[in-house]
Chains A and B, each alone.
Chain A
Amino acid sequence: MSPKGFIGENLPGWRPEELGGKLIVIEGADGSGRSVQIELLKNWLEEDGHGVVNVGLKQSSLVSEELEQAKQGNILGPITLSLFYATDFADQLENKIIPALRAGFIVLADRYVYTLMARDIVRGADPAWLEAIYEIAIRPDIVFYLKVSPQVLVDRNFQKNATLDYWESGMDIPLSRDMFQSFMRYQAMIQKQFKLFQRKYGFEVVNGNRTPKAIAREIRAKCQKILPE
């Protein structure tokens, strides 16, 4: 088995060959069915005897509270917000993801650096700047991208909350004063960015417009190939 690598250069203090576990990433917009799939996958893996650790965005012990506060107030500039998220990610990478991989766990990531980069790129950040920041990230063993059409996303968001999320609608970018239209445009921009990433980083694109069961079957079949005996 090839040793795990970083997306770019090594993080100070870590050697890729020490990392035994597997990193599985599920990417997709809110309403794409990510959390359901993560739960199903976790059950399946644990039933099979694998140790599983969940990680996600904005969950670091270092800055998650402050980040949440900043988002509520909408008071940070875009570069500051990018760096705040990068700090949150690096903290989880070093304190959760790498130690778990080292101990042979399967790490299930509910979104990863690709979402962070895509969000910032559609807001005008320099892609080369972001890629150079996130080169410290561990390269996942497999990335699933749950692709759901913006129309279906809207329906699912309405069913769940009867409202669209401010940030997931890109309301901080002057796309449209109409939240519905802003959401549709923003999600289309994100999808376009993921299409570029898909070519560059080799994602598994999963059609998320289907039933959870059908999606789970496809994800399991693909995971099978990377799992340890």
Chain B
Amino acid sequence: MDRSNIPGKLIAVEGLDGSGKSTQIYLLKRWLELGGYKVFFTEWNSSVLVKKATKKGKKRQLLTPTTFCLIHCTDFADRYERQILPLLRGGYIVLADRYMFTAFARDVTRGCRPEWVKNLYNFAVKPDITFFFNVPLDVAIGRIMSGRPSLKYFEAGMDLGLSNDPAESFRLFQGKIREEYLRMVDEYGFSVIDAALPIEQQQDRVREVVTEKIDLDAYLRRSKK
């Protein structure tokens, strides 16, 4: 894809539920905002119009692996066409809590063909930096299970028929997703962060990588100078 007319930078975070990636991208966002940089934050599965349909599909358990994949890609496309790309074109640093790799990992685990899923997303630019928060399965599951009383049907991967017990299904599902992520580390050049470390140490490492790879001065708001 031609990047010459895209002056902005795209930073994505990926990882299992409970890997702490949302905390880390939040801290990164605060650091950049307070430093006076042009930043925009976007989250997976949050396009207003599409989200309504997704919610309905999930609630009524109408989704198959194929429609699950397509509806999330539609949501992504809406945010991509109307926000992510225009902001990148306008010279912003865009922070994405989950990006196409979430779909690659989840939908392939659900049984969609990898090439088919990748083709769906090939309209979108790849991130300049993708942080992968690598956490042992037990740690991620422990964090999720202690914070929430019950797991939702699709969240637990119940549609895969791995187990009738939601907790066991979730564990098996997350384990498979983790394997898919690990397969992508080299292919897409993820920056791997050890998510078992204390929050502060992870954030130090994140900021270090960002400073190394992005000339941040180019993204300062003019009024701040």
Contacts and interface: CB of A to CB of B under 8 A. Distances in A.
Interface of A: 9, 11-13, 61-63, 65-66, 69-70, 75-80, 82-84, 86-87, 90-91, 94-95, 126, 129, 132-133, 135-136
A78 to B, nearest CB: 8
B28 interface: no
B74 A87 contact: yes
B53 A66 contact: yes
Given A13-B65, A66-B50, A90-B66, A83 B116 contact: no
A65 B63 CA distance: 16
B57 interface: yes
Contacts of A12: 65-66, 110-113
Interface string B104-144: 00000011110110011011000000000000000000000
Q: Which 9 A-B residue pairs are closest in the complex by CB-CB distance?
A: A77-B81, A12-B111, A83-B74, A87-B70, A132-B119, A80-B77, A80-B78, A66-B53, A63-B53
Contacts of A91: 62, 64, 67
Interface of B: 49-50, 52-53, 56-57, 62-67, 70-71, 73-74, 77-78, 80-82, 110-113, 115-116, 119-120, 122-123
A59 to B, nearest CB: 14
Contact of B64 (A83, A94, A133): A94
Contact of A63 (B71, B73, B116): B71
Contact of B63 (A9, A62, A79, A80): A62
B101 to A, nearest CB: 18
Contact of B67 (A94, A133, A135): A94
A13 B111 contact: yes
B187 to A, nearest CB: 19
Nearest to B71: A87
Given A69-B49, A95-B62, A133-B120, 15 more contacts: A9-B113, A12-B66, A12-B110, A13-B65, A13-B111, A62-B53, A62-B71, A66-B49, A76-B78, A79-B77, A79-B123, A83-B77, A87-B53, A87-B74, A91-B62
Nearest to A87: B70
A187 B6 CA distance: 35
B124 to A, nearest CB: 9
A50 B50 CA distance: 38
A135 B115 CA distance: 12
Contact of B77 (A63, A77, A132, A136): A77
B81 A80 contact: yes
A79 B80 contact: yes
Contacts of A63: 53, 57, 71
A83 B71 CA distance: 8
A133 B49 contact: no
A76 B81 CA distance: 8
Contacts of B123: 79, 126, 129
Given A129-B119, A133-B119, A84 B50 contact: yes
B154 to A, nearest CB: 14
A205 B154 CA distance: 44
Nearest to A76: B78
Contacts of A65: 53
A9 B70 contact: no
A132 to B, nearest CB: 4
Given A84-B74, A129-B123, A62 B62 contact: yes
Contacts of A78: 81
A165 B56 CA distance: 30
B70 A83 contact: yes
Nearest to A10: B113
